[in-house]
C-alpha cells in the first residue's frame, strides 16, 4: 500500500512516516502543506491519504478542502483525516459524496497503533472510520422523544461502533462477545429504530446509521430541515 502523508507538524509527520514504514506500508510522500499534496495527487493516485486539517498558509481548513478536492480528482480516493478536534460538520462534508473510503479521527488515536492501522486499512478498502467523539457528539444531541432511549446500554455501544465503521467481527472482538451476540444486538437496534433490517454491509451500513443519528430531533422519517444540513444530507443509501 502506498500512502501520502500531509501534516505540517514535523514531529507528527516523521512519527507517522516511521509508524507506517514499520507496519510495512510504503510512504510515497510526506508533505507539509496542501498545495504540495495536491500537486502530488494530480500526478499519481496513492492507495490512501493521511491528512491534517489545519495547514499552511492560512492554518484554517485547507487540509479538509484539499481532501475533498483530491476526491474530485480521483473519485473514492481513500482519505483519513486527522485533527486536533473533531466537528460533526466536517464529517458530514467528508461523507457527502456517499462513496466511502473516508476516515476522520482525532490525532491522538494514532497512539493506539493497531487500531489506527486497522482504521487506515478499512478506509483504504472503501470503508469508514469515524472517531468515537464524532459519534458521541451525534448521540448526545438532545432530541424530543429520543428513540435512542429505547436501546439498552450494550445496544448503544454496538450502534456507536457500527457508526465508527467497524464490521461485526471486530465489534464482537472489541466487546468480547460472540459474533452471534453482535448479530442479535444489531437486529434489535434496527428493529427498535425502525431502520430497514438489511442495510447491507460495510460503508452502506455506516452511512445508514450516521444518517439516522444525524436526523433532526423528533422528525424521524421526514426530510431534514431545509436550513439544517445534518448528516441526513448524506445521499440516501440505495
Partner 1 sequence: MERWIGGSASTTTAVGWDTVRVTTRLRECWSAVRYLVVGAGTSLLSLFALAGLFAVLLLCPFGVGIPSLAPMIRLARWPVGVDRRRAARKLGEPIPEPYRAGSPLKDPATRRDLAWLAIHAATGTIIGVLAFGLPLGAVQQVITSFVWPLVPGGIEGSLGIVVDSWPKAALDLLVAAAMVVATLQLPRVARWQARTARKLLAPAPGVVLADRVAELTATRAAALEAHGAELRRIERDLHDGTQARIAAVVLQLGIAGQLYDRDPAMARDLLGKAQDTATDALAELRTVVRSIYPPLLSERGLAGAVRALAERSPVPAVVDVEYETGRPAAVEAAAYFVVAEVLANVTKHADASEVDIVLGGTASVLTLEIRDDGRGGADESRGSGLAGIRRRAEAFDGTLTLTSPPGGPTVLRVELPCGS
Instruction: Give residues 112-151 in contact with partner 1 (rule: CB under 8 A).
Output: 112, 137, 141-144
Identify which of 75, 69, 80, 76 has the alpha carbon closest to the alpha carbon of residue 6: 80
Question: Looking at residue 108, what DSSP letter applies?
Answer: G
Among 23, 204, 229, 237, binds partner 1 (CB under 8 A): 229
Note whether 221 binds partner 1 by CB under 8 A: no
Q: Give the x-and-dash track for 48-87 against partner 1 (CB under 8 A).
A: -----xx----xxx--x-------------------xx-x
Note whether 88 binds partner 1 by CB under 8 A: yes
Note whether 225 binds partner 1 by CB under 8 A: yes
Residue span binding partner 1 (CB under 8 A) among the ranges 160-168, 170-178, 193-201, 227-235: 227-235
Q: Give, in order, the Cα–Cα distances in Å from 130 to each of 6, 54, 166.
A: 19, 18, 9
Among 24, 196, 227, 238, binds partner 1 (CB under 8 A): 227
Among 43, 226, 236, 238, binds partner 1 (CB under 8 A): 226
The footprint of partner 1 on this chain (CB under 8 A) covers a number of residues equal to 29
Distance CA 73, CA 85 (A): 27
Which helix (H) or strand (E) element contains residue 124?
A: helix 113-124
- Give the CA radius of gyration of the chain: 18
CB under 8 Å to 40, separation ≥6 — which residues? Answer: 4, 28, 29, 31, 46
- Please provide the DSSP assignment of 148-173 as one string: GGGS-HHHHHHHHHHHHT--HHHHHH
Write out the residues near partner 1 by the rule CB under 8 A: 53-54, 59-61, 64, 84-85, 87-89, 92, 106, 108, 111-112, 137, 141-144, 216-217, 225-230
Amino acid at each position: 500500500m502506498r500512502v501520502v502523508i500531509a501534516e505540517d507538524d514535523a514531529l507528527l509527520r516523521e512519527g507517522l512516516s516511521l509508524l507506517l514504514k514499520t507496519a510495512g506500508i510504503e510512504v510515497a510522500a510526506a508533505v507539509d502543506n496542501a498545495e504540495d499534496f495536491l500537486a502530488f495527487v494530480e500526478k499519481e493516485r496513492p492507495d490512501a491519504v493521511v491528512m491534517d486539517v489545519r495547514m499552511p498558509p492560512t492554518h484554517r481548513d485547507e487540509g479538509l478542502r484539499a481532501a475533498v478536492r483530491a476526491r474530485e480528482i480521483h473519485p473514492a480516493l481513500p482519505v483519513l483525516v486527522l485533527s486536533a478536534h473533531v466537528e460533526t460538520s466536517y464529517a458530514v462534508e467528508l461523507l457527502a459524496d456517499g462513496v466511502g473510503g473516508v476516515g476522520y479521527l482525532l490525532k491522538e488515536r494514532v497512539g493506539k497503533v493497531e487500531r489506527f492501522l486497522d482504521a487506515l486499512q478499512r478506509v483504504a478498502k472503501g470503508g469508514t472510520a469515524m472517531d468515537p467523539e464524532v459519534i458521541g457528539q451525534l448521540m448526545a444531541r438532545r432530541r424530543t422523544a429520543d428513540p435512542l432511549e429505547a436501546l439498552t446500554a450494550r445496544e448503544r455501544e454496538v450502534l456507536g461502533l457500527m457508526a465508527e465503521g467497524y464490521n461485526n467481527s471486530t465489534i464482537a472482538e472489541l466487546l468480547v462477545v460472540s459474533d452471534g451476540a453482535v448479530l442479535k444486538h444489531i437486529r434489535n437496534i434496527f428493529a427498535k429504530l425502525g431502520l430497514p433490517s438489511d442495510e447491507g454491509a460495510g460503508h452502506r451500513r455506516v452511512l445508514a446509521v450516521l444518517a439516522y443519528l444525524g436526523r433532526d430531533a423528533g422528525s424521524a422519517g421526514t426530510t431534514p430541515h431545509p436550513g439544517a444540513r445534518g448528516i441526513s444530507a448524506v445521499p440516501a443509501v440505495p
